[in-house]
Amino acid sequence: MEGPLSCIGRAMSRLRFWLAAPALAFFALPSATAFAREQAAAAAPAVRPALWKVSDEDTTIWLFGTIHVLPEQVNWYAGPVAKALDSAQQLVTEIPIDEAEQSQGVVMKMSLREDGKALRAALPAKERAAYEAAMASLGIPAAAFDGNDTWFAALMLTLLPLKTAGYSTESGIDAQVAAKARTRHLANYAFETAEYQIGLFDNLPEQTQRTYLGEVIEALPTVKADIDDMVAAWKTGDAEHLAQLLNEDESDPQMRKVLITDRNVAWAKWLKARLDKPGTVFVAVGAGHLAGPGSVQDQLAAAGVTSTRVQ
């Protein structure tokens, strides 16, 4: 499963942070039964999302980029992707597959303010006015997140429009990969924990959090169109276009380093070491980690490990 890093600002590069967001960030979105998910996915047209392979003489590692939430079921489980997952002896995800659904309490606890101030009271007048207007536009009471940190308010303002537009975690690829892994009793290794992922947000400087909130507010009018464009690129496996969407006008190096680059470096280090142990591994992480400069593949290449595009 994936986890909370997501930041959509006015620039399309902000889609990178949304794609790299841990799945537990999407806990507020609606659910459906596993049976309904599988039935809908089977009836949907097949798509061809990107898939990469890393291997040596006795180890194969598949790299698959996921989308946390989708507006409808997608028939992704076909062709090379299905064969790769079926052949795997181990599933590697961002957080344990059985932890994401139980992480709501972690998010709520770690997002509580500790400075004794209401969120709106801590914002300068101009930023507060923009924030209250954004909340009103979504039908959310202005005081709804007064007890929470700035990053949490930004996350909710990102996710709630998607929920209204029909996006859900149950339609997302992470939930479906996890379900298939459970059915097969597939061993699961996780790069991170829910607490670690939330901590990445929680430890951001307040000014960075406020910048994040402001950019999310500016992006609200085009969030759905931007995400729809990104999802379309993912469905067709258009990694180049996806990278363009994710990297246009990179404007926040601090967030990129914390939420993307540092994690990609750590994951690539683990993957390189995993090649020393025989077996077949299927890695399912946010598509933002596998696209554009500084991707996991780039970090592997820097360490002398080649990734081959399979689909």
Average confidence (pLDDT) over 289-299: 92
- Does some domain include residue 5? no
What is the pTM for the complete model shown? 0.86
* Residue 283 pLDDT: 99
Please tell me the distance from the alpha carbon of residue 25 to that of residue 27, in angstroms, as a whole number.
6
Q: In sequence order, which residues have a C-beta less than 8 Å from that of residue 166 and are 6 or more positions away?
A: 71, 72
On whether residue 146 sits in a domain, the answer given is yes
Q: Judge whether 3 lies within some domain.
A: no
pLDDT at 267 (0 to 100)? 98
pLDDT at 64: 98
Distance CA 229, CA 8 (A): 13
The C-alpha atoms of residue 308 and residue 106 are separated, in whole angstroms, by 37
Domain limits for position 280: 12-309
* Domain membership flag for residue 184: yes
pLDDT band at 121 (very low <50, low <70, confident <90, very high): very high
What is the rounded CA–CA span in Å between residue 1 and residue 179? 11
Domain for residue 17, yes or no? yes
Mean pLDDT for all residues in the chain: 85
pLDDT > 90? residue 288: no
pLDDT above 60: residue 34: no
Three-state secondary structure readout of the chain: CCCCCCCCCCCHHHHHHHHCCCHHHHCCCCCCCHHHHHHHHHHCCECCCCEEEEECCCEEEEEEEECCCECCCCECCCHHHHHHHHHCCEEEECCCCCCHHHCHHHHHHHCECCCCCCHHHHCCHHHHHHHHHHHHHCCCCCCCCCCECHHHHHHHHHHHHHHHCCCECCCCHHHHHHHHHHHCCCEEEECCCHHHHHHHHHCCCHHHHHHHHHHHHHHHHHHHHHHHHHHHHHHCCCHHHHHHHHHCCCCCHHHHHHHHHHHHHHHHHHHHHHCCCCEEEEEEEEHHHHCCCCCHHHHHHHCCCCCEECC
Position with higher pLDDT, 172 vs 2:
172
Q: What is the CA radius of gyration of the chain?
A: 19
Q: Does 1 map to a domain?
A: no
What's the confidence (pLDDT) of residue 177? 95
Q: What is the mean pLDDT of residues 151-178?
A: 88
The verdict on residue 7 lying in a domain is: no
Distance CA 4, CA 255 (A): 13
**Residue 259's pLDDT is what?**
84
Count: domains in the chain: 1
User: So what's the pLDDT on residue 163?
Assistant: 85
pLDDT at residue 254 tops 60: yes
Which residues, 6+ apart, have CB-to-CB distance to 182 below 8 Å? 97
What whole-number distance in Å separates Cα of residue 148 and Cα of residue 122? 11
Residue 7: the pLDDT is 35
Average pLDDT over residues 227-240: 89
As given in the structure block, the two tokens for residue 311 are: 């689909």
Q: Is the dihedral of CA 25, 71, 83, 54 positive or negative?
A: negative
* Mean pLDDT along residues 130-151: 97
Which region among 30-44, 80-94, 147-161, 276-290 has the lowest average model confidence (pLDDT)?
Answer: 30-44
Q: What length is written for the chain?
A: 311
Lowest-pLDDT choice from 38-42, 105-109, 122-126, 136-140:
38-42
- Percentage of the residues of the chain whose pLDDT score is greater than 70: 83
The pair of three-digit structure tokens given for residue 279, joined into one six-digit string: 């077996």
According to the model, what pLDDT value does residue 69 have? 84
pLDDT range class, residue 6, cuts 50, 70, 90: very low
Two tokens, residue 35: 């049976």
Q: Is residue 2 part of a domain?
A: no
Burial state string for 35-68 with b = 16 or more CB within 10 A and e = fewer than 16: eebeebbeeeeebbbbbbbbeeeeebbbbbbbbb
- pLDDT at position 248 over 70: no
The tokens for 241 are: 């276009």
Query: pLDDT for 77-108, tens place per residue?
Result: 999 999 999 999 999 999 999 876 667 788 88
40-54 pLDDT, tens per residue?
A: 555 566 799 999 999
Higher pLDDT, 33 or 285: 285
